[in-house]
Structure 1
Amino acid sequence: MSSTASPGTTLYKFLVYAPDKADPSAAHHRQALQAEHMKVNEPKLKSGYFNVAGLLLSEPSLGIPENKQTLAGSFMIVEAENIDSVKEHLKKDPYYTSGKWDTDRVAIHPFYWALGQQ
C-alpha cells in the first residue's frame, strides 16, 4: 500500500498512456523539463504510487543508438484510490502543463494485474 493512502483504503492499478505532441525537438523539450518532472513526481516515487514508468519510443527507434531514438511519450502503472486522483496528479506534471504531452490523447485505464507482479 502506498504511504499516501489511509489504512484500509483500497488502491487500484491504472495504466497511463501519455503520448507526446508531434514535436521535432521532442528530446530537447523533454530534457529541459526533466529535472522539474522528477521533482514533482519524487513524493509519488517514494510513496510507491508508481509501479513502473518510462519513455515510449517510436517503432523506428528499435535497434539504433539511444541518443538517436525518437521519443513518443510516457507510460506508467500507478496505484491510486480512483481515476480522478490519477488525473489530478497528471495535471500537475510539467510534461502536461507545458503541453509536451498530447493531453487530448492521454488515456488512463484501470486494470487487473494477472502476471509478472512482484
Structure 2
Amino acid sequence: MASPLSAAPLLYKFLVYAPDKADPDAPQYRQALMEEHMKANEEKFKSGFFRIGGALLTEPAVGAPDDKRSMVGSCMIVEAESLEAVREHIKKDPYWTSGKVWDTDRVAIHPFYWAVGQP
C-alpha cells in the first residue's frame, strides 16, 4: 500500500477552447509557429497532460481535402491538478505568447466530466 506522501496527485480533466484571432493572417502565423508549438508541448504530450487535442476547422472543411481545410483555433482535453495549472501551461504556448494566433481574450478553460468514450 502506497503511503499518503507518495500518492499521485489527484488530477482533473479540463476542456480548453482556444479560437484563433480574426486577423486574416492568423492562419499563416499558426502554420509558421506549428513546429514550435508542437515542440513546446512535447513533454506534456508524453506525460498524459494532453488527453486529446487538435485544430478547430471552418465548416466548409468537412469532407474537404487536407489542403482545403482552414484551421481557426484549437481544442483540447487536458488532465491536471488545477485550472490554474492548465492556465499557466496554456499561457506559455507559442500560439499564446506570439500574440498572433490565439485570441487570448476568448480562450476558455472549463472543468470537464468525461462521461463516455474514454480511450
Asked if TM exceeds 0.5, the reply is yes
Deviates more, 1:98-107 or 1:24-33: 24-33
Cα distance in structure 2, aligned partners of 1:58 and 1:26: 13
Any idea what SS the aligned residue of 1:42 has? helix
Cα distance in structure 1, aligned partners of 2:94 and 2:107: 14
- Structure 2 counterparts to residues 66-77 of structure 1, below 5 A: 66-77=66-77
- Asked if the contact 1:26–1:71 (Cα under 8 Å) also holds between the matched residues in 2, the reply is no
Cα distance in structure 2, aligned partners of 1:62 and 1:85: 33
Corresponding residue for residue 89 of structure 1? 89
Corresponding residue for residue 58 of structure 1? 58
Instruction: Count residues with an aligned counterpart.
Output: 113
Deviates more, 1:19-28 or 1:102-111: 19-28
Amino acid at match of 1:109: H
Structure showing greater radius of gyration is 2
- Structure 2 counterparts to residues 21-60 of structure 1, below 5 A: 21-60=21-60
Corresponding residue for residue 105 of structure 1? 106
Deviates more, 1:57-66 or 1:98-107: 57-66
- Asked if the contact 2:19–2:72 (Cα under 8 Å) also holds between the matched residues in 1, the reply is yes
Corresponding residue for residue 3 of structure 1? none
Shift of 1:17: 0.3
Amino acid at match of 2:113: Y
Amino acid at match of 1:82: S
Cα distance in structure 2, aligned partners of 1:102 and 1:89: 16
Superposed CA deviations along residues 18-66 of structure 1, whole A, max 9, x for unmatched, are: 0000132333211210111111101101111010000000112222221
User: What's the TM-score once normalised by structure 2's chain length?
Assistant: 0.89
**RMSD across aligned C-alpha pairs, in angstroms?**
1.3
Deviates more, 1:57-66 or 1:30-39: 57-66
Cα distance in structure 2, aligned partners of 1:32 and 1:26: 10
Any runs of at least 4 consecutive aligned residues in structure 1 with deviations exceeding 6 A, and if so which?
none
Any idea what SS the aligned residue of 1:10 has? coil
Amino acid at match of 1:8: A
